[in-house]
Amino acid sequence: MRAAALIVALALASCDSSPEIVFKDASLTLPDDPVDLPEGPGRDAVIENCTACHSPSTMLQQPKVSAEKWESIVGKMKKLYKAPVDDAAVPAIVDYMVHVQSLPEAKP
Ligand code: HEC
């Protein structure tokens, strides 16, 4: 008799557990890229024209090159990868990239 009561209790207990799948964390975590572009003239131009394809950290991890080289890189983005870069924004982009690469915390 006591065994039967236990079975009923167990059956009730198992009915209690919801069949729904519950995720511990429902929030979606995007790849970790906490790096933000440092303040500086031309920052908006880079955000508007470059960060659609490159993360800020990618932009900051480039080897240090001259302004002329940056100009040619931007040209390459346009020609080769069809980046919709506004011609008027190119000098600002070049200035900004040279600027961030001259910051003390920039990679040599
Ligand atoms: C339409 C997408 C797109 C946009 C917008 C874009 N790029 Fe690129 N970029 C690429 C691709 C694709 C590569 C080659 C693969 C890679 O290195 O990720 C690349 C590579 C690079 C590289 C690596 C070095 C090299 O010469 O290949 C640099 C630096 C770079 N981009 C800078 C920029 C800058 C600065 C801008 C803004 C003016 C920009 N990109 C905008 C697609 C883009």
Q: Is the CB of residue 71 less than 8 Å from the CB of residue 95?
A: no
Which CATH number describes the domain made up of 33-108?
A: 1.10.760.10
DSSP 38: P
Give 13 Cα–ligand 1 centroid separation in angstroms.
58
Ligand 1 pocket member 73 (CB < 6 A):
yes
Task: Please name the residues in contact with 96: beta carbons below 8 A apart, sequence gap of 6 or more.
Answer: 40, 41, 42, 43, 45, 46
Q: Ligand 1: which residue has its CA nearest to atom 8?
A: 77
Give 104 Cα–ligand 1 centroid separation in angstroms.
24
Confidence (pTM) = 0.76
- pLDDT tens string, the chain, 108 residues long: the values are 566 665 555 555 555 565 677 767 767 665 666 578 999 999 999 999 999 999 998 999 999 999 999 999 999 999 999 999 999 999 999 999 999 999 887 655
Minimum-distance ligand 1 atom for the alpha carbon of 90: 38
pLDDT of residue 32: 62
Give 29 Cα–ligand 1 centroid separation in angstroms.
25
Residue 19 token pair: 């069949």
Give the span between the Cα atoms of 21 and 84, in whole angstroms. Answer: 44
